[in-house]
Amino acid sequence: MSRPAVRKELGQHFLVDENLLGVIGRLAELGPEDVVLEIGPGRGVLTTYLADRVLQVHAVELDRSLEQTLREALGDRDNVDLRFGDALELDLAALGPPPTKLVANLPYNIATPVVVESLDGLPTVDHWTVMVQREVADRFFAEPSTKAYGAVSVLVQLATERTGFHRVSRTVFRPRPNVDSALVAFARTGPGADAKTRRVVEAAFSHRRKTLANSLELAGLPAPPERYARLRAEQLAPAQFLELV
């Protein structure tokens, strides 16, 4: 059977090097009672690895043309719930049993929103191991006053702490991407930011070169306390944003 064509508009870069699976398994700390959510299973290389080691896998794939390839890869494994649709639109919180871990080679074009939405939208998930563009991985746990530090950094760090990191060669994907990738693992330390906190954080970083006072005013939000007014968003640590809210 011929393989389905890669759809570049979906950010597809399929994992083809099975040697990396052991690294993913170690970073994800997989156990027999885990319920894993995988977004973007592609051709099922990671999906089958997960299914053989955990209680249940919820695999969500947007590209319906991959269905036959995926089902053939899964064979008679009956602990994989395969769903087709947009992960950003499906009600993933309604999955049963609820996922406890998110392990995925995330499509590049949805990696950041998937992680950010899962922090608050999937409260049962307490551990993430995701393959993303290297610059995205760096952004998740960037420190204040660095170029990579932004709204995503704050939102991720308010809810989690990094537990692992592994650089990934471009050669493990087909087609080979034009950017470097990384595996990053992180564990929940608290609830995800609520809507009010997200609004303040995103507004603060929407004009990086402006002061907090100006950025929040442009977003129609109240002025910050005087001690923060002349600072820029990148100068505040994640915990200070909670105080600001």
Structure tokens at 125: 């998930």
Confidence of residue 75 (pLDDT cuts 50, 70, 90): very high
- Dist. CA 57–CA 170, nearest whole Å: 26
pLDDT digits (tens, 9 = 90+) for 18-60: 678 999 999 999 999 999 999 999 889 999 999 999 999 999 9
What is the model's pLDDT at position 6?
44
Q: Is the pLDDT of residue 2 over 80?
A: no
Report angle CA 241, 244, 245 to the nearest 5 degrees.
90
Which segments of the chain does DSSP mark as H helices, in order?
Answer: 21-28, 45-51, 67-74, 111-121, 134-140, 151-159, 195-205, 212-218, 226-229, 238-244
Ramachandran class of 97: left when φ > 0, alpha when ψ lies in -120 to 50, beta otherwise: beta
- Dist. CA 102–CA 131, nearest whole Å: 11
pLDDT mean across residues, the chain: 90
User: The domain at 196-244 falls in which architecture?
Assistant: Orthogonal Bundle (1.10)
- Dist. CA 100–CA 28, nearest whole Å: 11
* 115-119 CB contacts, 8 Å cutoff, 24+ apart: 115/140, 115/152, 115/156, 116/152, 116/155, 116/156, 117/88, 118/92, 118/192, 119/155, 119/156, 119/159, 119/160, 119/192, 119/193
- Dist. CA 226–CA 211, nearest whole Å: 12
Confidence of residue 175 (pLDDT cuts 50, 70, 90): low
Taking a C-beta distance cutoff of 8 angstroms, is the pair 235, 145 a contact? yes
Q: Is the pLDDT of residue 3 over 80?
A: no
What is the model's pLDDT at position 200?
95
Spell out the domain ranges in the chain.
8-192, 196-244
pLDDT digits (tens, 9 = 90+) for 79-103: 999 999 999 999 999 999 999 999 9
CATH number of 8-192: 3.40.50.150
